Amino acid sequence: MGNPNTENPLEELSKYEKELELAKNSANTSEIFHILLNLGKLCYKIEAYELGLKYIQEAIEFSKKYSDFPTPYEFYKLLGDFNFKQGLLNDAYDAYYRSNKEIPKKKFLKLLAENTFKLGKISEILDKKSRAIQHFKEAEKIFEKLGLHAERVRIYHRMGLVYLKKISVNVTTGIDKIGTYDWVGEARFKKARKNFKHAIMILEQYNLKEAESGLYNTIRANLKGKFSDYWSFR
């Protein structure tokens, strides 16, 4: 059984639910976990977050009875995704943190970096800026190791914004809503500028300006636009 497809999501959902019932009746634990994971993935794709959360929580509760819980990091990652989408930020943070604890580090570095970035994003929303910066830095180091330089650029840009302002996030859609920039002090403006310049340096060093033109222009606008009065700080 592969990953779920979403061409006929209701039909696919019904199929998995029937298979789950059969697996439970035959006490096939590995199949139960596999089906619950696919149900969770399908629910996330079709934005049935409450139902998906129920399946993932069922899998985690079921795992407490058995020692052969496969790929727990996938279940906790999905648990974090569902909680985040429903605005349960502290629960999402705990789930991503647990996922990172369960990840075989050498095999799934990209997932580790993505989870760590999400830990930073949640910390930022919760106004825990120091913790957010710490997580962003950890994620950036992993992305650098993987050679994913565009992701590094996004992190440096994000860190620059952390120093300048709060970013409110619509947790239903995950789309950042940029607020107003307020005076936050010379020290934080210096740190913001340093991060923005580092992002530009990576874009130029790895010839990403064209591929990431939108981000490149946004960062340059931050440096040369409405904050030009402040960027004289050295």
Q: 92-145: per-residue pLDDT in tens?
A: 999 999 999 999 988 899 999 999 999 999 999 998 999 999 999 999 999 999
> Looking at residue 33, what is its pLDDT?
92
> Looking at residue 4, what is its pLDDT?
63
> Looking at residue 3, what is its pLDDT?
63
Angle (nearest 5°) at CA 116 between 176 and 93: 75
CB 63 within 8 A of CB 33: yes
> Looking at residue 27, what is its pLDDT?
86
What's phi and psi for 227, nearest 5 deg?
Answer: -105, 10
Give residue limits of the domains in the chain.
148-234
Angle between helix 109-125 and 149-164 (nearest 10): 10
